[in-house]
Amino acid sequence: MTSTTEGTRSAPALLAVLMPAMLATVIASDMVNLVLPAIGAEFGASEAELAWVVTGFLLMFSVGIPFYGRVSDRVSLRRLFVFALLTYAAGSLVCALAPDLLALVAGRIVMGVGAAAIPVLSIIAVTRLMPENRRGTGIGVLSAASGVGTAAGPAVGGGIGQLLGWPALFWLMFAVALVLLPSALRVLPGEPPAGEARFDLPGGVLLGLGAGLALFGITQAQVAGLAAPSSWGSLVVAVVAVALFGWRTVRVAHPFVPPALFANRVYRNAVALAFLAMVVNLGGLVFVPLLVVDVNGLTPGAGALVMIPAGIAVAVVSPLIGRLADRIGTRPLVLAGLAVIGLFSLFLSTFTGGASVVPAGVGIFGLSVGFIFVLTPLISAAAGALPAGQVGAGLGILQGAQFLGAGTGPALFGVLVTARQQGGGGAVNPLYGGSEGAAYSDVFLTMAVVVVPALAVACRMRPREAGHARYTTRV
């Protein structure tokens, strides 16, 4: 008996729901960055207070992803997806009508609760509902939406915010969520999966607490410094929470994360690689726009335009990579992608100190394409290596690792930039010839260094791990 209903559901109809949902939620995470000054001027808020407009959303996102993945093993995709869209719409409405900063932050938190479900449920839906030989293509299409949303978020936010005001961003998200509801009800299955009926809720709370506090502590280190109690205190509590989570995992009958997940070598490698690749990718997506504004003197809106070719490339390449992964497997694509990421990180570190913004555009273009070569095959391989009853939990943890990398990279690199700008001195890279921007050169060089352990993990992948485990369609 199969665990999917491939024969009764159209793959194009499924992706027609999942793609715009993924695009909207990814855009939502970054769309406010360029309108924060306008929000601060309207509400009379400080930079530290404004940071919560971003942090509140991200914290709920990081906590929610593993929960939605785990719950999807016992609750139908239709119910979870509809709940997520309604919650996302409600949070968007609160933000659009917010009379003060507190209401805006509350709305962003509610948005984050809904948005956290979309990426992981979308991947789970493709894994369960599309035929195995088309799974990579489906994941590639979703990766395209995610990549375009990440690159376009600042541009969309800056453009719409400047023309129509920042509340228009949230009215747009509200409308998108409501438009998608009828299609989600029609396309997604209403029957619950035949997975494990129970799991350890306290363990899930500890995992979410650990992930959320780790992200918050890293973010606070960037804003207030590592010596601030809000930074080191959060990190200490995060470590304690994760330790308690590990203790419960090996002692309860139905742990939140089945230990067998990490006995699976394919899955274990995929989690490590997804985290490291996301650290580098988000580092580039954050610091290339900052570079062209700070060093090249572009406006924030013009700086966001530098990212558009990379977003277009991701949209075009991702489905092709998905199909290629279905044919030749994971390892060759991951190794090639990591090599490209490393080379273009070095390129950015070497050539982005001049008057032209072209090297920055070329660098982020190559970085984004390399990342898609890594991520799309990894998700497909991880999904294929998991038994049907562990797909939700496994993909929730995998995407949680991705998101943790997305929060960790920019925060740690931000600390490095601040320290280097305050300390002065030239770039570490001896080939860097720019008169300004040495701190950014060092960040891009550090990104190249992070690729080295990722390559070491990828080299340990066996060629046979490139395929998909055949038992994933059985219960």
Question: How many whole angstroms separate alpha carbon 39 and alpha carbon 50?
Answer: 8
pLDDT band at residue 134, thresholds of 50, 70 and 90?
A: confident
Residue 473 has pLDDT above 60, yes or no: no
> What does the alpha-carbon distance between residue 119 and residue 5 come to, in Å, rounded to a whole number?
21
Query: pLDDT value at position 463?
Result: 54
Backbone angles phi, psi at 65, to 5 degrees: -55, -50
User: Alpha carbon of 43 to those of 50, 87, 90: distances in Å?
Assistant: 10, 25, 22
Three-class SS state of 97: coil
Spatial distance between the Cα atoms of 465 and 287, rounded to a whole number of angstroms: 34
Tens digit of each residue's pLDDT (9 = 90 or more) over 355-397: 788 888 899 999 988 998 998 888 888 877 777 777 777 888 8
- Is pLDDT at 124 greater than 70 in this prediction? yes
Q: Kindly tell me if the per-residue pLDDT of 439 is higher than 80.
A: yes
For residues 99 and 423, the model is more confident at 99
* CA distances (Å), origin 158, targets 1, 36, 148, 249, 301: 50, 10, 16, 44, 6
* 409: its two tokens: 């990279």
Residue 205 burial (10 A CB sphere; 0-12, 13-18, 19+): middle
Q: How far apart are CA 475 and CA 97, in angstroms?
A: 47
pLDDT score, position 412: 79
Residue 114, both tokens: 């809904």
CB 1 within 8 A of CB 472: no
Q: Which domains does the chain have, with CATH numbers?
A: 6-196+258-473 (1.20.1250.20)
Q: Is the per-residue pLDDT at 401 higher than 90?
A: no
Per-residue confidence (pLDDT) for residue 276, from 0 to 100: 92
pLDDT band at 465 (very low <50, low <70, confident <90, very high): very low
- Band (50; pLDDT cuts 50, 70, 90): confident
Residue 293: predicted pLDDT? 78
What does each C-alpha distance from 315 to 10, 56, 122, 311, 344 come to in angstroms?
A: 21, 29, 17, 6, 19
196 has a pLDDT exceeding 60: no
Q: Which DSSP string corresponds to 297-338?
A: ---HHHHHHTTHHHHHHHHHHHHHHHHHHHHH-SHHHHHHHH
Q: pTM for the full model? A: 0.79
Predicted local distance difference test score (pLDDT) of residue 462: 66
Helix (H, G, I), strand (E, B) or coil at 2: strand
The whole-number pLDDT of residue 2 equals 36
Structure tokens at 195: 């997975």
Q: Does pLDDT of 331 surpass 90?
A: no
Q: Does the pLDDT value for residue 221 go beyond 90? A: no
Fill in the DSSP letter of residue 257: S
User: Is it the case that residue 83 has pLDDT exceeding 70?
Assistant: yes
For 233-241, which contacts have Cβ atoms below 8 Å and span 24 or more sequence positions?
Answer: 237/209, 237/213, 238/209, 238/210, 238/211, 238/212, 238/213, 238/214, 239/210, 241/206, 241/207, 241/209, 241/210, 241/213
Strand partners, 471: none
Sequence-ordered list of residues with C-beta below 8 angstroms from that of 115, at least 6 positions apart, any chain: 25, 28, 29, 57, 60, 61, 64, 84, 88
Would the pLDDT of 472 be above 50? no
Query: How far is Cα 103 from Cα 92, in angstroms, rounded to an integer?
Result: 11
Residue type, 421: Q
Average pLDDT for 303-328: 78
Cα 52 to chain centroid, rounded: 19
Residue 474, strand partner residues? 2
pLDDT, the chain, mean: 81
* Of the candidates 438, 443, 403, the residue with the CA atom closest to the CA atom of residue 424: 438
pLDDT tens per residue across span 140-170: 788 777 777 776 777 777 778 878 888 999 9
